[in-house]
Amino acid sequence: MYTLYIGNKNYSSWSLRPWLLLRELDIPFTEQLIPFGKGAFGSFSPTGKVPCLADGGVLLWDSLGITEYLGERHPGVWPIDVGARAWARCAVAEMHSGFNKMRDQCLMNCGVRVVIHNYSLPLQD
């Protein structure tokens, strides 16, 4: 069985990604929640960062690397159709490495509840 080491699910989109994938596909795993600032990530992660997936003696320390590893072992991680799979991998890679300005402005915080006020925009000609 896999062991997934993660940080806070409310504040770490990196940790949340493999956690959601494993849960969505009903892949059995043990979750090890290590709060930020409390744990020594270096005791289990080669980079000292989370997420980190342990599979016996194999350690994976990057959410995209974890996804690829799981995709080789479990159906449903990636689309079967080669074109759809290529598109999905490109989209995931772009999300993984891009959007830096958006990440700086829109921090990950699932604990915040936002109230959207109903207002109307002026009509434009």
Q: Which residue has the higher pLDDT, 46 or 27?
A: 27
CA separation, residue 47 to residues 40, 50, 109, 115, 119 (Å): 11, 8, 24, 38, 47
Question: 10-14, 26-30, 47-51, 104-108: which range is least confident on average?
Answer: 104-108
State the pLDDT at residue 75. 95
State the pLDDT at residue 15. 84
Alpha-helical (H) ranges within the chain are 13-24, 63-73, 82-97, 100-105
% of residues, the chain, pLDDT over 90 = 46
State the pLDDT at residue 122. 64
State the pLDDT at residue 74. 97
Is 0.85 topped by the overall pTM?
Answer: no
Topology adopted by domain 2-105: Glutaredoxin (3.40.30)
**Mean pLDDT of the residues in the chain:** 82
